[in-house]
Structure 1
Amino acid sequence: MLTLDLTNAPQWCDLIPGVRVRLRPLTTALMVSARSDPAIADLPESAATEEAALFMAKALARRAILAWEGIGDADGSPIEPSPEAIDALLDLWPAFEAFQTHYVAKALLLDAEKKRLCALADWSFGGGEGYCTACAGPCPDCPARLNRPQTLEGAQVWDLAQRLGGQMRVLPGAVIGWDMGAALALGAALGISAPAIAELLPALEAVMVRRINEQIAANRD
Structure 2
Amino acid sequence: MDLLFGLRVRVWPLTTAIWEQAAARARRLGLEMGGHAEAIETAGGKISGLPNLTDPDARAGLSQMLFVVALAQCAIFEWEGAGDADGNAIPPSDDAIATLMSGFPAIADQFVTKYTAAQAEAVAEGKGSGISPAGTSAEVPDTARGAETRISPAAEVRQ
* TM-score normalized by the length of structure 1: 0.43
Query: Which of 31, 34, 39 is the equivalent residue of 2:29?
Result: 39
Distance (whole Å) between structure 2 residues aligned to residue 116 and residue 29 of structure 1? 24
Map Cα deviations across residues 8-57 of structure 1 (whole Å, 9 max, x no partner). Answer: xxxxx111132111111111111011111121555768344332221111
State the distance in 2 between where 1:138 and 1:18 align: 49
Counterpart Cα distance in 1 of 2:67 and 2:119: 12
Superposed, 1:11-90 pairs within 5 Å as: 13-37=1-25, 38-42=28-32, 46=56, 47-90=58-101
Alpha-carbon distance in 2 for matches of 1:98, 1:36: 22
Alignment partner of 2:72: what SS?
Answer: helix
Which residue of the partner structure matches residue 40 of structure 2?
none
The alignment yields a C-alpha RMSD, in angstroms, of 3.4
1:57–1:104 CA contact under 8 A, matched in 2? no
| TM-score, normalisation: structure 2 | 0.58
Aligned partner of 1:99 in structure 2 is 111
d(CA) in 2 for partners of 1:43, 1:106: 32
Structure 2 CA distance for aligned equivalents of residues 64 and 29 of structure 1: 11
- Tell me the distance in 2 between the aligned counterparts of 1:41 and 1:64: 22
Structure 1 stretches of 5 or more lacking a match? 1-12, 140-221
Partner of 2:139: 138
1:81-115 CA-partner distances (Å, limit 9, x unpaired): 111100111121221121122113544555x56x9
SS in 2 for 1:36: helix
Cα 1:104/1:54, change in 2 over 3 Å: farther
1:63-82 deviations in Å (ceiling 9; x for gaps): 11011101111221111011
The count of residues paired between Structure 1 and Structure 2 equals: 116
8 Å contact kept, 1:68–1:81: yes
Does the 8 A contact of 1:43 with 1:52 survive in 2? no
Task: Determine if contact 1:40/1:56 at 8 Å carries over to the other structure.
Answer: no
Q: Verify the 8 A CA contact 1:40 1:55 in the aligned structure 2.
A: yes
* Unaligned runs of at least 5 residues, structure 2: 35-52, 141-159
